[in-house]
Structure 1
Amino acid sequence: MRILVVGASGTIGKEIVKTLEPDHEIIRASRNGEDVQVDISSLDSIKKMYEQVGKIDAVVNAAGGAKFSKLTDMTPDIYNVGIESKLKGQVNLVLYGLNYMNDNGSFTLTTGIMMDDPIREGAAIAMANGGVKYFVKAAAIEMPRGIRINSVSPTIMEESWEALGDYFQGFKPAPAREAALLYKKSVLGLQTGKNYEMY
């Protein structure tokens, strides 16, 4: 299979590449552009990426930014980071990727534990994650040509614990390599409209 991994240079993205590349052709996309450059908050950047990459069998996205913020300090500028990147960016990867996706291909997006298990200063992120989850659920019933769509909802990663662990009191961190297995399950399995939860 020819698989485009967006966010390939990130914590989870690197493990997705390691998990899939022994048996598949992997195209690595990120802001720094190991194979191709993309900023998923930019529609023009997404379009340019697909033009460069051409036809594919799967898109796996592990990119998307959002900001922690106390609710009392939250502003449209703060929550819009998650809306523009994590939510709209992933939706646009699907909408503009359909014309490049081969029949019976798949999209795998990323949500996250905060939408189901809220933490302090996580409302803006939870909102973006929830939007992605329910886009996937609804879009699955309309996907053309046998194309599937799923999302993966990781917990806090061991690799991110030092930087973010204070937000996740009482949570059990998991290694990114375990998260990568859920992305593999989405790409190589048969289910659609599912949010694979790592918790």
Structure 2
Amino acid sequence: MRILLIGAAGRLGTAVGGALADRGHDVLAVGRTSGDLRFDIADPAQITELYERVGKVDAVASAAGDVPYKPVADMTPDDYESAFRGKVLSQVELVRQGLANVAERGSFTLVTGVLSREPIPTGSAASMANGALDAFVRAAAIEIAPQRINAVSATVFTESLEEYGDFFPGIRPVDVADVAQAYVRSVEGGQTGQVYTLD
């Protein structure tokens, strides 16, 4: 399959790209500052340019999304708008614009996260964004068939515990390689409207 991978240079994106390439797929790596293609998916116009550049693909997989982390009392309207634009609208737009570019039975895989189910202090924007994406995936699935759409929702990565472990007390981490396999399942499998949880 020819697969467009957004956020390919990050920890998750690197693992996903490797897992897909190991299975013989042609992975087109997209990032803001690195990768085969340089585009910022937070800008709808750049998503249009990206699809014009790559043409038809069999799948789109996203491992990118930015949200601010602050206590609710310190958040501003701009912070919440930034979270919604950076993680939700960017991925929704990947799907909306991608419908014409993804194969008839192709797929979209989005990234959400554990905070829609297990909130933490300072994580309200991430919880909001993840919950919105979980709901979008379920709703979009009933409209875009036979194209498919799923999301991968993981907790903190084992490999990131040194940096982020203190924010997830008592929450079991997951190896990033296991998260990458959920992307493989979404891309190669037959399910749609699923949120694959790893926690």
- TM-score, structure 2 length as denominator? 0.97
1:169 and 1:78 mapped to 2: Cα distance? 25
- Which runs of no fewer than 5 residues in structure 1 stay unpaired? none
Matches within 5 A, 1:16-165: 16-22=16-22, 23-144=24-145, 146-165=146-165
Q: CA deviation at 1:33?
A: 3.5
Q: CA deviation at 1:173?
A: 1.6
Post-superposition CA distance 1:135-180 (Å, at most 9, x none): 0000100004x10000000110122222211211112222211100
Post-superposition CA distance 1:52-98 (Å, at most 9, x none): 11100000000010011101111111112210010000000000111
For 1:99, what is the secondary structure of its paired residue?
coil
Q: Which one is further off, 18-27 or 154-163?
A: 154-163
2:86 and 2:41 mapped to 1: Cα distance? 6
Query: What is residue 198 of structure 2 aligned with on the other side?
Result: 198
Q: How many residues align?
A: 198
Letter in 1 for 2:88: L
2:41 and 2:169 mapped to 1: Cα distance? 30
For 2:29, what is the secondary structure of its paired residue?
strand
Q: CA deviation at 1:39?
A: 1.0
- TM-score, structure 1 length as denominator? 0.97
- Tell me how large the CA RMSD over aligned residues is: 0.9
Q: Taking structure 1 as reference, are residues 80 and 87 closer, same or farther at Cα in structure 2, changes over 3 Å only? A: same
Query: What is residue 4 of structure 1 aligned with on the other side?
Result: 4
1:127 and 1:38 mapped to 2: Cα distance? 25
1:112 and 1:93 mapped to 2: Cα distance? 18
1:126 and 1:49 mapped to 2: Cα distance? 28
Q: Which runs of 4+ in 1 moved over 4 A?
A: none
Query: What is residue 188 of structure 1 aligned with on the other side?
Result: 188
For 1:169, what is the secondary structure of its paired residue?
coil
Give the % identical residues.
Answer: 42
8 Å Cα contact 1:38-1:46 kept in structure 2 = yes
For 1:129, what is the secondary structure of its paired residue?
helix
Query: What is residue 177 of structure 1 aligned with on the other side?
Result: 177
2:154 and 2:47 mapped to 1: Cα distance? 24
Letter in 1 for 2:161: W
Letter in 2 for 1:174: V
